[in-house]
Amino acid sequence: MTPSDGPCMRVIINSDDLGMSPVVNEKILDLMSRRRITSASILANGPSVEQAIRLIPKGTGCSLGVHLNLTEFEPLTPARHLGGLRAYLNENGAFAGERNMSNLSISPSLREGIYRELRLQVEKVVALGVKISHLDSHNHVHTIPHVFPILKRLQREFGIRKVRTTWNIYPPQKPVSMALRIRKKVWDFSLRRLYRTRTTQGLTTFAIFYDLARKEELSCSSIELMTHPGHAEYEEETRLLDRDWESEILFPVDLISYHAL
């Protein structure tokens, strides 16, 4: 199968969860060193974040973002300063998971607790010497509407103009309601316009992109592909990254990082 001679789609291949564990770090850093990915996002409160940043290979051109996290591991904020966010921790003092956060009921105390925690996460990555290219999040928490004002506050404070958009490309077997599509379009519009922000037109996983792109031309001119190397449930996706997948899809691509967006 030969790609068409049409215009190139600009593609960012981002590996999430850098700093989660030595295994995840090893997989991501290997792909980075071999230029099989173009970007990665750092889990600032991950148990292995210092190791990850220390071992990042030089000269790859990869962009490095912050993977804002409210669903896993212990927060960086001392418990006495978490405010309403303390209700979203488990008995061990770690974030209690995606399910609790998806039912977020906002209050001034919770809003301030979220802001303090996410601000500390960005500050930690900066303190570790990383030039931040973009923001995204663990379990897509930055796309929760109540978190949006906090996201914009962080962007302004740190001068970050690039942010991952909301997941908007799905496989045919997973239909999405029109109401959800409209909400996502409104969120994307607001992301771009309020404190002007650059993002890709599309967002999906690498595996979904690979399946779709072998069957049809995709309409977006730019897309970010999420990958999760080192996770057992994503082993097949990680193997796909090592294939000559560009020759198997129906259109040409230009692999870029967030630096070029």
Q: Coil, strand, or helix at residue 133?
A: coil
> Are the CB atoms for 151 and 135 separated by under 8 Å?
yes
Q: Where are the domains of the chain?
A: 9-260
H helices then E strands: how many in the chain? 8, 7
Query: Per residue of the chain (261 residues), what is the pLDDT tens digit?
Result: 344 456 799 999 999 999 999 999 999 999 999 999 999 999 999 999 999 999 999 999 999 999 999 999 999 999 899 999 999 999 999 998 876 666 667 899 999 999 999 999 999 999 999 999 999 999 999 999 999 999 999 999 999 999 999 999 998 888 889 999 999 999 999 999 999 999 999 999 999 999 999 998 888 999 999 999 999 999 999 999 999 999 999 999 999 999 999
pTM above 0.85, yes or no: yes
CATH architecture designation of domain 9-260:
Alpha-Beta Barrel (3.20)
Spatial CB neighbours of 37, under 8 Å, sequence gap ≥ 6 = 13, 14, 15, 28, 31, 62, 227, 229, 241
Cα dihedral 102, 201, 37, 152 sign? negative
Question: Which run of H or of E encompasses 122?
Answer: helix 108-127
